[in-house]
Structure 1
Amino acid sequence: MKLTIDRARFRLYLYIGAAFLALWTFSELVNHPETFLKRAWNNIWLVSYLVVLNYILFEHVRRYLAFTWRKILIAPVLLWAMAMLYSFGFFAWRAIGIGLHLYFPLQFYDSVLKGVSYHFPSAVASIIFFGLARHIYDYRKLKETAQRLRIEKQEAELNYLKSQTNPHFLFNTLNNIYSLARDKSDLAPESILRLSKILRFMLYETDGAYIAIEQEVKIIDDYIALEKLRYDESLRVNFNHDVEDMKQSIPPLLLIPLVENAFKHGVSETRNQPFVEIHLSVNRRLLTFVVKNSSEIFGNGKVKENIGLSNLRRQLELLYTDHQLSVQQNGSVFTASLKINLASHV
């Protein structure tokens, strides 16, 4: 068994040893106040031995014993050796301290066995104390690591969803511009200019975790203006908002998928009287976003969600603990309703 020292782990045992020393010394102060200082010094000498011994036991011997099915003959020898170190070794360390004049012999014993018997309970107590302290520390570290990994996994998934949403949004917008250019529309240059403004926002304003709601409102306005270039006066678009504080923060481009969905899967497929109605309100940290649009599909109840809505739903699950997204078809009207408690951000 190769014995290597992990400095970080050994430092942990030093801290545990300091705590064990403090408790032991306090006990000496209560029970033997007249020789407290000498006993405190003695305890420092004894605990230094216990720190090393417990480090070897829990960091090396314990791991070695995990493979006893391969080393059946060696394991009992190791256990016996550790028992000797905790009993006779501990008493021998006291004798070494006396010989080096680093330990005050406050008590004398008729035999070695009596000395071992007197000090053995302290050694056993150290095993229990070090074992419990080490277990609690490792358990907390394990929980912290698991929590960190969970957060990192969620962030990775969220970034992946965003990386899907943005190209999806860009692809649909470029298709719209392509249709204008193919028809040699005079509106093509203006649509490209508006798209450049949107792209600039996506490149430079959405790197952070949050943006102000007023920025999200502006990008929705720009997107609506870009989409309206494709339609004649028959398209009716109404976007109104009631926000108590436009500086409140939300994740960037969180609302745009519902607006994009209204144009791509609703208005673009409606022959007669196409419309989009959008209402945004934020009061007392409760965000309500409702998007209604015309649809050629008739029906009632829930509808099958496309990739944009599915991605949005998953993003909401990763971002907020209190939210609700519902989509339904009522006759020829498609409605998407989103409610978020902004205070429930993960």
Structure 2
Amino acid sequence: MWAFKDRFDTNYSFFLHGLNYAIVIMAIIWINHFILIPSFFDKRRYFLYTILLIGSVFIGAYLKAYEEDGWYGIYKVIFYLIYTTGAGMAAFFLRRNMIIQGENAEKGKLQKEMELNYLKAQVNPHFLFNSLNSIYSLSRKQSLETPDLVMQLSELMRYQLESSKKETVLLKEELEFIENYLLLEEKRLSKRCTVEFLIDGDVLGLRVSPMLLIPFVENAVKHGAQSTIEKSTIDISATIKNATLYFCVENSKPHKVSSLKRTGLGLENVRRRLNLLYPNSHVFEIDDKEEKYHVNLSIDLSVSILEK
């Protein structure tokens, strides 16, 4: 437009001409963005949308240029309006795509938080039921250790309630929780089950999602020693190397039920939690043999869960 400034008598007429252009451009962009796109393009009525858009551009060009330059001026304005409308559409769809991506990311984050809270809520009663069953077995035998075990269970539940409010807990605390749980179970199973729990490596400073490891231990007790009167073993090891946790649980399998397939809510929950919390930094393997059931889990704890 500056190239044609000499065609105007005054600066006022030049700027008035430019303002008219701007009004026509903004009117077409407004009609396109707020009427044509929502009413026709988004509803996949592409042919009608194209006809109406071309019609809007033609009407705008006709009203702006016909009186001054006739049909030649209309053609020039049409190409100019197509260019500006196309640029406006590109900016519109880019902005809308960014908004949609942001909304989808927020929905995904909210869904992930809801699912994790749901899985955590399932872990609590699952662990409680197993522990109460152990204490119930001792109470039927009128064991003098029952009151102490009830107190020990209350301490375990206190830790569980406190940790469920956190995203992560210290690995040291989580392993201590497992150790206390095994001590509770040993009171009931010590005569027919040998339990080994070894920790190797530096656990200081490392954090892990709470109640993530205990389901493996619970299942070893439930499907191993608790399901038979035979002699049984449970071997658990937690090894830390270069901020990676290698957690292994192995239990003997009763001969009479060795052919049964193991199922359990705890393992399904922990598998889902691993996929949500450590999607690219964990390895989970199960080796189900005739006489042994072996679980191998490795988790890279160097990356924060929040960063994932």
Q: TM-score, normalised by structure 1?
A: 0.72
1:138 maps to which of 93, 96, 116: 96
Partner of residue 335, structure 1: 294
CA 165–88 in structure 1, closer or farther in 2 if over 3 Å, else same: same
CA 329–63 in structure 1, closer or farther in 2 if over 3 Å, else same: closer
The alpha carbon displacement at 1:292 in A equals 1.5
2:106 matches 1:148: yes
Partner of residue 58, structure 1: 33
Write the distance in 1 (CA, Å) between the matches of 2:106 and 2:31: 30
Cα deviation digits, residues 200-236 of structure 1 (max 9, x gap)? 1111222121111011111111211211221345532
Cα deviation digits, residues 142-170 of structure 1 (max 9, x gap)? 23333333333333223222222221111
Matches within 5 A, 1:140-289: 140-289=98-247
The alpha carbon displacement at 1:302 in A equals 11
Residues 299 and 331 in structure 1, CA contact (< 8 A), matched pair in contact too: no
CA 286–297 in structure 1, closer or farther in 2 if over 3 Å, else same: farther
Write the distance in 2 (CA, Å) between the matches of 1:273 and 1:40: 97
Amino acid at match of 2:87: F
CA 314–115 in structure 1, closer or farther in 2 if over 3 Å, else same: same
Equivalent residue pairs, number: 295
Partner of residue 322, structure 1: 281
The alpha carbon displacement at 1:186 in A equals 1.1
Partner of residue 83, structure 1: 57
The alpha carbon displacement at 1:256 in A equals 0.4
Tell me, what secondary structure is at the counterpart of 1:241? strand
2:22 matches 1:47: yes
> What is the RMSD of the two structures over their aligned residues, measured on CA atoms?
3.5
Q: Percent identity?
A: 25
CA 197–300 in structure 1, closer or farther in 2 if over 3 Å, else same: closer
Tell me, what secondary structure is at the counterpart of 2:25? helix
CA 117–232 in structure 1, closer or farther in 2 if over 3 Å, else same: closer
Residues 269 and 296 in structure 1, CA contact (< 8 A), matched pair in contact too: yes
Write the distance in 1 (CA, Å) between the matches of 2:293 and 2:50: 72
CA 43–252 in structure 1, closer or farther in 2 if over 3 Å, else same: farther
Residues 278 and 290 in structure 1, CA contact (< 8 A), matched pair in contact too: yes
CA 41–90 in structure 1, closer or farther in 2 if over 3 Å, else same: closer
Unaligned runs of 5+ in 2: none
The alpha carbon displacement at 1:57 in A equals 1.4
The alpha carbon displacement at 1:43 in A equals 5.5
Cα deviation digits, residues 35-70 of structure 1 (max 9, x gap)? xxx78997677435423430221221233345798x
Q: TM-score, normalised by structure 2?
A: 0.80
Write the distance in 2 (CA, Å) between the matches of 1:193 and 1:260: 19
2:251 matches 1:293: yes
Amino acid at match of 2:245: L
Tell me, what secondary structure is at the counterpart of 1:184? coil
Cα deviation digits, residues 257-281 of structure 1 (max 9, x gap)? 0111111111113434332211001
More relative contact order in 1 or in 2 (CA 8 Å, sep 6+)?
Answer: 2
Write the distance in 1 (CA, Å) between the matches of 2:215 and 2:19: 67
The alpha carbon displacement at 1:85 in A equals 4.2
